[in-house]
């Protein structure tokens, strides 16, 4: 379930117009869902977009990268917490 959920929310490294921005789950499953999402994303290979094993590649453009950073900031402003913090390219 975890991999399918993540792939549907983060297809094309989240650079698709129909990507979900929220996961709705019953409150009693919150910790279980957060753990499942965190572990699934952590296990997904990141890297060269031309490598078939890569699940998450880089942002397509600098503009798209800035949009992703803005979405992270928006989530933080709304009370979101990081469960796994990634670091962007050097100098970012």
CATH number of the domain that residue 28 is part of = 3.40.309.10
Between CA 28 and CA 66 the distance in angstroms is 34
In a domain, 88, yes or no: no
In a domain, 89, yes or no: no
Domain housing 29: 2-77
pTM surpassing 0.85?
no
**Nearest one of 88, 13, 89, 75 to 44, comparing CA atoms:** 13
Q: How many domains does the chain have?
A: 1
What pLDDT shows up at residue 28? Answer: 96
> DSSP E strands: which ranges in the chain?
none
Angle between helices 30-43 and 2-14 (to 10 degrees): 60
In a domain, 51, yes or no: yes
Give residue for tokens 């490598």.
51
Binned average pLDDT, 10 residues per bin, the chain of 92 residues: 69 61 86 88 84 82 86 89 68 51
In a domain, 90, yes or no: no
What pLDDT shows up at residue 90? Answer: 55
What pLDDT shows up at residue 85? Answer: 67
Query: For residues 68 and 59, is the Cβ–Cβ distance under 8 A?
Result: yes
């Amino acid at each position: 379930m975890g991999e399918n959920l993540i792939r549907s929310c983060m297809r094309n490294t989240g650079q698709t117009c129909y990507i979900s921005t929220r996961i709705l789950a019953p409150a009693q499953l919150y910790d279980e869902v957060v753990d499942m999402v965190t572990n699934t994303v952590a296990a997904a290979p990141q890297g060269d977009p031309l490598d078939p094993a890569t699940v998450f590649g880089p942002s397509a453009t600098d503009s798209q990268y800035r949009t992703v950073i803005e979405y992270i900031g928006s989530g933080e402003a709304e009370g979101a917490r990081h469960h796994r913090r990634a670091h962007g390219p050097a100098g970012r």
